């Protein structure tokens, strides 16, 4: 049994603060919470929030300027080392759980084993290799499928190799030449079949989607989360559709806006030219991701914070910047924190996460000052605890 004392503990459910708290931890689980004993400790008077959830990362990408090339040139050992280093960077930034949204098919077991062997790294939900059409978006991860039976084989293999999620590339993407973000690349027939199978065997379904047509399929067929949610028309131009967002909200589909990666990728393209020559409206598309969040917030659709860390120019300590983008789009700091705690836990089906409360996993981030007053304070935590154990930040 261990104790953390003297912290102002923030509950993201409602923004309430338990002053001068005593958090009792037993075997990585919060056993009890009390307040007002005046005990002093190294963190007395500071603020605590639950460990943060990053709902969209790519642990085997390096977040540099040419992530596709460096990935394809790396050895298997390099990729495992990179994933461990990236996970460590995220942990130091207060991220205690990540959902990987695409890594190499043949390394799935090895990566999970390596990442789970260090108790101070974030917990990892994996989607293995994202499902994509032949030559489709991110095909280099090895998840290409030609037809429904191929697709079902991949779903079963994912479950077998320890994945918790299925990632489907519903449209093309900015990273992959030969695809266009506005094109639906997995047929509704394949999507329907694989979503049913995923449901049956207990996998969540995350859909990469940049187009209005694809978003309609995602909502009607019942995915759990839609990633990016850039609503492009048939010409590849942003075309915000509020009625469709309302439909998503009413169906319980959550959105992962990945705004920071869009900002960083746009910055790169402005400086160095296009990444995917077919992606002719790339800058408009990327810029719209930020403004879309205001509409998501107005409608009240559930949001899961996700950085897309590993993508072009996007580091693994970017979650604070992602949350900052949400606040810039109109969320309060509390609402932004919810997207990486309570809301993320709810949409990613993690009932034991998202709050520091009796019975929950004791992942705790200590901040010098109150993040409810200024979301930027989430960057640079003073201390991070994983299941009650302190992560070394140096």
Of 282, 238, 231, 221, which is closest to residue 255 (Cα–Cα)?
231
Site string for Zn ion, 42-81 (x = CB under 5 A): ----------------------------------------
Taking the complex as a whole, the smallest distance from the CB of residue 63 to Zn ion amounts, in Å, to 11
Taking the complex as a whole, the smallest distance from the CB of residue 68 to Zn ion amounts, in Å, to 12
Question: Please, which residue, 7 or 98, has the CB nearer to Zn ion?
Answer: 98
Taking the complex as a whole, the smallest distance from the CB of residue 58 to Zn ion amounts, in Å, to 6
Give the H or E element holding residue 148: helix 148-160
Contact window for Zn ion (CB under 5 A) among 85-93, 306-314, 319-327, 368-376: 306-314
Instruction: State how far Cα 277 lies from the chain centre.
Output: 27
Whole-Å CA distances, 19 to 12, 247, 330: 14, 40, 28
Contact window for Zn ion (CB under 5 A) among 7-15, 178-186, 300-308, 317-325: 300-308
Indicate which single residue of 20, 123, 185, 308 sits in contact with Zn ion (rule: CB under 5 A).
308
Contact window for Zn ion (CB under 5 A) among 95-103, 176-184, 322-330, 376-384: 95-103
Q: Which residues make beta-bridge pairs with 227? A: 208, 256
Give the H or E element holding residue 156: helix 148-160
**Angle formed by the axes of helices 76-92 and 108-116, nearest 10°:** 40
Question: Please, which residue, 101 or 304, has the CB nearer to Zn ion?
Answer: 101
Contact window for Zn ion (CB under 5 A) among 160-168, 263-271, 305-313, 346-354: 305-313
**Angle formed by the axes of helices 282-299 and 259-272, nearest 10°:** 160
Cα distance between residue 364 and residue 203, in whole Å? 27
Taking the complex as a whole, the smallest distance from the CB of residue 386 to Zn ion amounts, in Å, to 24
Indicate which single residue of 23, 61, 79, 101 sits in contact with Zn ion (rule: CB under 5 A).
101
Residue 187: other Cβ atoms inside 10 A: 15
- The residue with tokens 């001068």 is 20
Question: Please, which residue, 52 or 207, has the CB nearer to Zn ion?
Answer: 207
Taking the complex as a whole, the smallest distance from the CB of residue 197 to Zn ion amounts, in Å, to 22
Taking the complex as a whole, the smallest distance from the CB of residue 356 to Zn ion amounts, in Å, to 29
Question: Please, which residue, 173 or 388, has the CB nearer to Zn ion?
Answer: 173
- Asked if 337 contacts 322 with a C-beta cutoff of 8 angstroms, the reply is no
- Asked if 385 contacts 120 with a C-beta cutoff of 8 angstroms, the reply is no
- The residue with tokens 């967002």 is 245
Q: Considering only residues 264 through 293, tell me which ones interact with Zn ion, judged by CB under 5 A.
A: none
Question: Please, which residue, 74 or 357, has the CB nearer to Zn ion?
Answer: 74
Interacting residues with Zn ion (CB under 5 A)? 101, 308
């Amino acid at each position: 049994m261990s104790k953390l004392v003297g912290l102002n503990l923030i509950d993201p459910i409602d923004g309430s603060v338990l002053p001068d708290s005593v958090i009792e931890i037993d075997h990585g689980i919060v056993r009890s919470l009390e307040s007002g004993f005046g005990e002093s400790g190294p963190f007395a008077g500071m603020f605590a929030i639950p460990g943060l959830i990053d709902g969209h990362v790519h642990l085997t990408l390096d977040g540099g300027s040419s992530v596709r090339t460096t990935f394809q040139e790396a050895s298997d050992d390099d990729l495992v080392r990179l994933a461990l280093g990236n996970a460590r960077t995220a942990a130091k930034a207060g991220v205690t759980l990540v959902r990987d949204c695409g890594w190499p098919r043949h390394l799935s077991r090895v990566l999970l084993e390596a990442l789970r062997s260090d108790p101070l790294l974030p917990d990892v939900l994996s989607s293995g290799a994202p499902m994509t059409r032949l030559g489709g978006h991110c095909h280099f991860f090895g998840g290409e499928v030609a037809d429904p039976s191929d697709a079902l084989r991949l779903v079963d293999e994912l479950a077998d190799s320890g994945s918790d999620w299925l990632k489907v590339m519903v449209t093309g993407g900015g990273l992959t030449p030969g695809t266009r973000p506005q094109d639906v690349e997995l047929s509704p027939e394949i999507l329907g079949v694989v979503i049913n199978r995923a449901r049956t065997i207990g996998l969540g379904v995350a859909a990469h989607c940049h187009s209005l047509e694809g978003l309609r399929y995602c909502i009607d067929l019942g995915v759990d989360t839609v990633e990016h949610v850039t609503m492009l028309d048939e010409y590849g131009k942003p075309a915000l559709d509020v009625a469709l967002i309302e439909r998503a909200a009413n169906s319980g589909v959550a959105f992962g806006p990945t705004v920071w990666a869009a900002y960083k990728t746009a910055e790169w393209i402005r400086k160095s030219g296009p990444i995917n020559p077919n992606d002719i409206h790339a800058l408009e598309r990327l810029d719209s991701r930020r403004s879309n969040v205001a509409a998501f917030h107005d409608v009240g659709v559930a949001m899961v914070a996700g950085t897309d860390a590993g993508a072009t120019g996007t580091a693994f300590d970017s979650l604070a910047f992602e949350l900052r983008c949400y606040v810039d789009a109109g969320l309060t700091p509390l609402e932004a924190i919810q997207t990486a705690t309570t809301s993320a836990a709810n949409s990613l089906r993690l009932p034991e996460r998202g709050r520091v409360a009796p019975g929950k996993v004791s992942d705790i981030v200590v901040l010098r000052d109150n993040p409810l007053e200024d979301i930027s304070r989430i960057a640079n935590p003073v201390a991070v605890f994983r299941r009650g154990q302190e992560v070394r930040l140096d």
